[in-house]
Every structure is written in C-alpha cells, then in structure tokens.
Chains A and B, each alone.
Chain A
Amino acid sequence: MLSMKNISKVYQSELVETHALREFNLQVSEGEFVVVTGPSGSGKTTFLNVAGLLEGFSQGEYLLDGVDVSSVSDNESARIRNEKIGFIFQGFNLIPDLNLAENIEVPLRYRGFDSKERKRRVEQALEQVGLASRLKHLPPQLSGGQQQRVAIARALAGEPRFLLADEPTGNLDSLMARQVMELLENINQAGTTIIMVTHDPELARRAQRNVQIVDGQVCDFTSYQKSRSTTSTTAEPA
C-alpha cells in the first residue's frame, strides 16, 4: 500500500541545511491503522506531507499503491492526491464561505464528477459522519467536532485508498476527540487504510500500530494488535 525506503528530506536555506527526514523507512499495508507520534520538530508533519505528495523528497524510493511516485509531475501528484488520498487536517481546513455540501464537493469537482454523482457522494459522506441534516450549514455554524466530521466526510467522499490525518483531534476537547477517533476507527474497520499523526498518547494506544519518529527517523517500531472490541468502546456523537 505504502512503501518508503531510505527517504530523505532536506530543507535548504542560505545558511542552514535541515534534515527533516533521514533514511526514513516505513511499510504500511492495506487496511492498517497506523499512528505516527513523536516530539515537536521530529519530522511527523514532513513525513505526512511526503506521504500525501504534498511535497517532494530529496532521496529514496516511495511506492504508493505499487506506483513509484518519486518523480511524478505536479499535475499527476494532484491527481493521485485527489483520487487515492483523503486528507484530514488539524485545523479542519474547511472553506468558510461554502456550505457543507459545497465544501465536500470541492475535491469531487476537481475529479470531474457530474452534479448527480457529486450529490450522491456528498449525501452518503455526510450520512456516514452523522451530519446529513446539516447540508446547507456553513462551517462557522458548527462546533469544532462537527467541523472535523465534515472534513472527514470531505476526505471520504472521494472513496480514497487511504486517509492521512494530521492531528485530527488537536483542536478538539476530549469528548469530541473521542467521537472523531471512534469515527476514524469505524472507517478503518470498513477497510480504509489510515495513517494518523498525533501527540495524544491515548489515541496512539488505540491504534493497531504505533510508529515513533525522532530526528526524522523511525526510532521505535512497535506493532501490536488490539482487539476490535476494545477500540469500539466510545460514546455516541453529540
């Protein structure tokens, strides 16, 4: 599904050369829920950006869904992001001037779906996150947790091969964080591969696999299976 071998990412300024990732190696299989943790500045976000083709890398080999994406063009990486990857951001990144349906439609329009198909996917995605009745609401009219669920719906609407989540609960209180985490677990159980960057040790413990990054390298690789019954113990969404 995702295979990174000896990936390096160097940020070069006039005075300083910063090695954000060094000989970074990671394999993620289809259907996994991988949590990436690490201290601030360790390279978590850089890893996420490289994994999501949001930026390139300096060296190494990256196979995504079996395809070498080391030297894809800007347009091609936009297409891959649009079709194969769903993004969930810490700050939700919803467009405040667009209602929920229009926000979810954004990537679907770039994909060229007709209005009927877009409508079907939007309704299905909002149904999935429990916000089907809020179709015409604007993002500022929703709570933080609800906004993050909309962002998840936007990511799901494209039916991606995997979700990349960047601190998806970072801006939420603990109750909302649990609800969002439960939603992600449900999505994962339905078959979508998820890679999530977080600071939250509790959330990290709930994932199937925890990858820790320090100084741009995977330093502690812990893999463990948790029983499905443990992970599904959460409250109903507010």
Chain B
Amino acid sequence: MRNIKPIISSLLRSKSGPVLLLTQIVLSVAIVANASFIISERLALIDRPSGIAEAQVLSFRVYNFDPAMDLRKQNQQDQLILRDLPGVIAATSTNMVPLSGSGWGDRYVDGPDPETAKSLPGFSFYMGNEHMLNTFGVKLVEGRNFYPEEIKMGPAAKSQTALITKSIAEAHWGDESPLGKVVYQQDIAITIVGVIERLQGAWVDSSNFEYSVIQAVDFGGAMSSTTYLVRAKPQDIAQLKLDIPKALHLENPNRVIDEFYTVAEHRGHSYSNHELMAALLSVMIVLLLLITSLGLTGMVMFNIQRRTKQIGTRRALGARKADIVWYFLTENYVICAAGAVIGVVAASQLGQQLMNHYSLPQLAWQYPAVTVLGLFVVTTLAVILPARRAADIPPSLATRSV
C-alpha cells in the first residue's frame, strides 16, 4: 500500500477511464445489493415450510352433472371409496387446497359483543372432517382432533369446534393456551379444541399465509363440484391418478374427475413467478459482475499497454514483480473503495425507492456489505492476470524506444 498516494494522484490526473469504471462499480453495488436482497427475500418465501406432507397429498376435483344426484350422500360414499383404495393413507373432502392460489378466508373475534371484541388475525379458512389432519400430514401440538360427531355438513353448517395454527394463537393470546377459548364467527360461537404446529393457506403472497383454521365442516356435496385430498406415499401417487377416476366412475360414471395435482405441484406453480424473478435477477447479477470485471480487465490491459515503458522504468528503478502486481491491485482497490462508498449510498437510496414503490422490506446492511466484498474478490480476479503480465515486462524496456 506504499504506492497509494501517487496512485490516487495519478488517477485524479487522468480521470476519464477511472470515472467510467467508478460509475460502473457504483451501479453494480447499488443494483447487485438490491437484487441480491430481493432474491434472498424471494428464496426465503419459497423456503417457508407449509407444514404439509406436500409430495404425499394429491388434490383433484369431481364435477357432478347428474341433477338427480344426492351430492352429500355421494360425497360420503366417494370418501369411503377413496380411503379403501390401495396405497391411500387418508382422504377427505375440502373447500380449498393449500398453496393452490384459490381458497377461502375469514376472521374471528374473541367476544360476542362486536363493540368490545378484538379481532384475531385474518386466516385461511379450511373446512374439513376428522380425516383432514392426517390427510395433510400436519402436526397437532396441543389439544385434540375433531370427533366424528362434531362434523357438520355443508358450508352453512354451524360448526362449533375449530383447530387453529400456533401462529394465530401466538399472535392473539401470546404464551397463553388457546384451548377452550371461544371465538365468534358472526353469531356462531366456536370452541378451539386443538392447535396445529403449522398449516399454510392458499395464497403464497398473503400476509396471513401462515394463519390457518380448520373448522369441523364436511364441505363435500355443498356444490356440484367437490375437491378431494388424498394422502399416499409419493411412489403411489402416479398409480392413484389412474385408480381414482376408475374407482369413482365405477360408483357413478356421470361425472368428470380432473385436475390432479400434488400440493408440491401447487407450490411450484404458486411460486413460479418468484422463482422466475430470482432466476432473472441472478442472471442480471452475473452479467453485471461480468461486465464490471471485463471493464476492469480492459482498463488494466489498456493501462498496461499505455504504460509499458513506465512499467519498464519502474522495474529499472527497483520495482520487484510483486510491486508491479500490487500497483495495479492497489489502483483497482482505490477505485473499488471509492465505488463501494458511493455504491452503498446509492444502494440504500435505491432500496428506499423500492421500499416506497413496491412494498419491499428495508434493505438489510449485510447485502451492500457482502456485495462490496464480492466485488473486491471479483475485481481482484479480473486484475490479477493482466497485472502479472505487466510484472513480466522486462526492466530493459526502459532503455528501448517504444
């Protein structure tokens, strides 16, 4: 670093190349820091566990067209048929499928008087019977599952028991157990009988995604089409996609059975935009770093050509090869350090704008810091090879006319 002062003097006296590179580094830091932050936010969203045995849970719809069909009775019969199929671990009808992008939502209050009652967080509203917990493969951490006699039929049924996720309990009651608490859905009093460790809702971008409730209602048969969930080992899923339509058509051929997707496939579809954005931003980061490092390599190579005689002279005056390599590395670090300082400010400003306009969280300081570190590594790699070539310039060049 003993050359730093003359290097700064030299850079200040021939500004155009370094200023261009500085601008490139500032933009790189600002964009790469924010893009990395957005990518990590997206990846963190994608990585959230749903609580469900996603690869084991198969959803499908049954469209009934027979006006004479007793839909509720047929639903009960169909669930029995599904549970009897080889490989099926559990099956239930449902009003919505987790992570599917389509579902129901509601909100409880904690008292009968609307004036004084406090609202619980909004939640994804599952209606299911005593088989739903096992079908999802979710973990009950407190209380109990529904008893069969608690299950009401149809959406208008006045269910009096519910299972809630731990996230709702903690958000409203903190450390206090929610078991036995009575909440209200309009005028219906509902007792909380169990707490589920984790169960996500249908909309991956919802702020209430982690808040879910299962109410003791068998929704199947309430409408002409019914959604079913079947849990089986992943290796049995493909065969079940063939066996389920056969079995249900055998029972009643006047219906369409379609839309077979595992929850894992729903997850892939729901997060596809996030994945696409993360991939595009990753490509952009790589391209930006590549362009910056190529720019730097180009500048160093140009400088070496421009300063060939100067390098020879420095060698003649006593510079070791290592001194020449350090000269170019130091020059790079000076530009990078200036670019990093301005870039961090620019990154923070850009983050602020993104936060204001696109509801992103505030840019964490680690991202500009890691970006700057990464940039130092990338630019070192970009400079080291041409710098070593420069160090090979012989001192005898000082006496030649070049």
Contact = CB atoms under 8 A, between A and B. Distances in A.
B317 A54 contact: no
B317 A110 contact: yes
A166 to B, nearest CB: 5
Contact of A82 (B5, B14, B318, B398): B318
A49 B396 contact: yes
A109 B327 CA distance: 12
Contact of A54 (B2, B3, B316, B321): B316
Contact of B396 (A55, A79, A111): A55
A97 B398 CA distance: 17
Given A49-B396, A109-B3, A97 B13 contact: yes
B14 A111 contact: no
Interface in A67-121: 74-75, 78-79, 81-83, 87, 89-91, 93, 95, 97-99, 102, 105-107, 109-112
A48 B316 contact: no
Contact of B317 (A91, A112, A154): A154
Contact of B398 (A78, A87, A112): A87
A81 B309 CA distance: 17
Nearest to B12: A97
Nearest to A80: B318
Interface residues of B, number: 28
Contacts of A102: 5-6, 9
A89 B401 CA distance: 10
Contacts of B317: 81-82, 87, 106-107, 110, 154
Contacts of B310: 93, 95
Contacts of A75: 320-322
Nearest to B317: A107
Nearest to A154: B317
Counting chain A CB atoms within 10 Å of each CB, which of B315, B318, B322 scores highest?
B318
A52 interface: yes
Nearest to A82: B318
Given A54-B394, A106-B314, A78 B320 contact: yes
A109 B2 contact: yes
A158 B13 CA distance: 26
Interface string B1-20: 01101100110011000000
A83 to B, nearest CB: 7
Given A87-B317, A97-B14, A106-B314, A81 B9 contact: no
B19 to A, nearest CB: 15
A160 to B, nearest CB: 10
B366 interface: no
B395 interface: yes
Given A78-B315, A78-B318, A55 B394 contact: yes
Interface in B368-402: 394-396, 398-401
A163 B314 CA distance: 16
A45 interface: yes
A98 B6 contact: yes
Contacts of A55: 394-396
Contact of B319 (A52, A78, A83, A91): A78
Nearest to A55: B396
Nearest to B10: A97
Interface in B1-54: 2-3, 5-6, 9-10, 13-14
Interface residues of A, number: 35
B327 to A, nearest CB: 10
Contacts of A45: 399-400
Contacts of A82: 317-318
Interface string B197-213: 00000000000000000
B323 interface: yes
Nearest to A44: B399
B313 interface: yes
Contacts of B9: 97-99, 102
Contacts of B2: 109, 112
Contacts of B14: 97
Contacts of B313: 89, 93, 95
Contacts of A49: 396, 399
Interface in A146-195: 154, 158, 166
Contact of A74 (B314, B321, B401): B321
B318 A54 contact: no
Contacts of B394: 54-55
A42 to B, nearest CB: 15
Nearest to A138: B13
B398 to A, nearest CB: 6
A155 to B, nearest CB: 9
A191 to B, nearest CB: 22
A54 B314 contact: no
Nearest to A98: B6
B401 A54 contact: no
A116 to B, nearest CB: 14
Contacts of B321: 74-75
A89 B398 CA distance: 8
A126 B109 CA distance: 88
B217 to A, nearest CB: 81
Contacts of A154: 317
A95 B10 CA distance: 9
Nearest to A115: B5
Contacts of A138: 13
19 contacts: A49-B396, A54-B396, A54-B398, A75-B320, A75-B321, A78-B318, A81-B316, A87-B317, A91-B309, A93-B309, A93-B398, A97-B14, A98-B6, A102-B5, A106-B317, A110-B317, A110-B320, A154-B317, A166-B399
Given A75-B321, A154-B317, 6 more contacts: A54-B395, A82-B317, A83-B318, A109-B2, A110-B319, A110-B323
